[in-house]
Amino acid sequence: MYDTGRAITLSDAAVVSATSGLVHNDKVRKAKVGFFDKAHWISQICLHYGCLANRDLWQYDIAEMQGTQFSTYEAGDFFNWHRDSAPGADQPHAAPTPPRRVVTVIIMLSDGGSYEGGDFMLRDASHAELIDPAFRARGSVVAFPSCVLHQVSRMVSGHRAGVVGWLMGR
């Protein structure tokens, strides 16, 4: 999976602005990214794990896989606290609306001992920061509702790579 990701063209990561669409903002995010379409085998692995977690935990009405992002972080790179979907997206079976990101799936491709910093963190409803050493293990899969705040802390050294996929639904 890592070699497949490294073979695609990577560019500076962008963030979504409500007024300007996709923009580069080094105060919010600094990383390199490339994308696989939703039919790619890596996207299908994310879809599989996301559907398993969704079936057991949230029961969103999954419509499709959006696609998958291969991300790399080097010293100084980060992604500040953000959501992959708007608040309120955590309400399964809501009134008919266009599909939106409802489940985010992350697969860690780097060995957590090969880099310093770059911790993946979640923030719960009480705003407590959740960090688990298991998130750093190569091959670990983390799935969560896309409306949950999360971040990748600033990298100190080394190289961190992972795959992020988004399941679309209601």
79 closest CA partner among 142, 138, 122: 122
User: Domain range holding 151?
Assistant: 11-86+99-169
Contact assessment for residue 104 and residue 146, using Cβ atoms and an 8 Å cutoff: yes
Residues 72-130 pLDDT 10s: 999 999 999 999 997 654 455 555 678 899 999 999 999 999 999 999 999 988 999 99
Q: Please check whether residue 5 lies inside any domain of the structure.
A: no
In a domain, 140, yes or no: yes
Q: pLDDT band for position 20 (50/70/90)?
A: confident
Mean pLDDT across 17-38:
90
Split into its structural domains, the chain has a count of 1
The pLDDT of residue 58: 96
Q: Is residue 2 part of a domain?
A: no
Residue 84 phi/psi, 5° resolution?
Answer: -90, -10
Rg (the chain; Cα; Å): 15
Say if CB 80 and CB 66 are below 8 A apart.
no
Give the model's pLDDT for residue 18.
76
Closest CA to 115 of 70, 160, 71: 160
Kindly state whether residue 151 falls inside one of the protein's structural domains: yes
* Calpha distance 53→48 (Å, rounded): 9
Residue 152 covered by a domain = yes
The first and second tokens of residue 165, run together, are 């996929």
Residue 125's closest CA among 152, 144, 103? 144
Q: What pLDDT, on a 0 to 100 scale, did the predictor assign at position 89? A: 46
161 lies in some domain: yes
Listed range (11-20, 59-68, 87-96, 158-167) with the worst mean pLDDT:
87-96
> Does residue 72 form part of some domain?
yes
Q: Is the dihedral of CA 56, 67, 3, 136 positive or negative?
A: negative
Give the pLDDT score at 16: 83
Is the residue at 39 inside a domain? yes
pLDDT of the residue at 92: 55
Residue 129 Ramachandran class (φ > 0 left, ψ -120 to 50 alpha, else beta): beta
Token pair belonging to 92 = 């399964």
Average pLDDT on 22-49 reads 94
157 vs 25 pLDDT, higher one: 157
Residue 63 sits in a domain whose CATH number is 2.60.120.620
DSSP-assigned states of every residue in 122-136: EE-TT--EE--GGGG
Q: Position of tokens 């497949």? A: 4
> What's the pLDDT score for residue 119?
96
